[in-house]
Amino acid sequence: MLSKILEKGPPPCLEILKELIDLKVKSLSPHLLKIYEENLIVDQSKSVQIAVGSIKQSEKLWFDEREWRVTGSKCYGYYSYSYSKDPDWGKKIKSVYDSKFSGN
């Protein structure tokens, strides 16, 4: 099933999400752009450090790191929403990133 999903390429919602992120990044003040670059863009070493440091999924690091990242929970929300008859992707993306996730 996964191979069939991957054959189709990324769903339109991910393309829209990337466009929205790119637009938002371009509009950031120098101060916020610095925060974005220092905290959200990570290399492989940093991603491993985050994974190991938040493995229990109950510590502050885990909540802090997942707040603005594309997570499995968020992806499932987009995937299931993709079957909507009249989707409003802008509204959906805003609702996902404005929610206050409190854990599984």
Give the C-alpha separation, 9 to 97, whole Å. Answer: 23
- The string of pLDDT tens digits covering residues 15-73 is 777 788 888 888 888 888 888 888 778 787 887 888 888 888 878 888 888 777 778 88
Q: Would you place residue 9 in the very low, low, confident or very high pLDDT band (cuts 50, 70, 90)?
A: low
Give the C-alpha separation, 48 to 91, whole Å. Answer: 32
Q: Would you place residue 104 in the very low, low, confident or very high pLDDT band (cuts 50, 70, 90)?
A: low
Q: Which residue has the tokens 């339109």?
A: 12
Residues 6+ apart with CB under 8 A from 69: 40
Say whether pTM exceeds 0.85. no
| Number of residues in the chain | 104
Q: Does 21 share its domain with 35? A: yes
For residue 54, the SS3 value is: coil
Q: Does 75 share its domain with 49? A: yes
pLDDT for residue 99: 63
The verdict on residue 90 lying in a domain is no
The verdict on residue 21 lying in a domain is yes
The verdict on residue 1 lying in a domain is no
**Domain range for 25:** 10-41
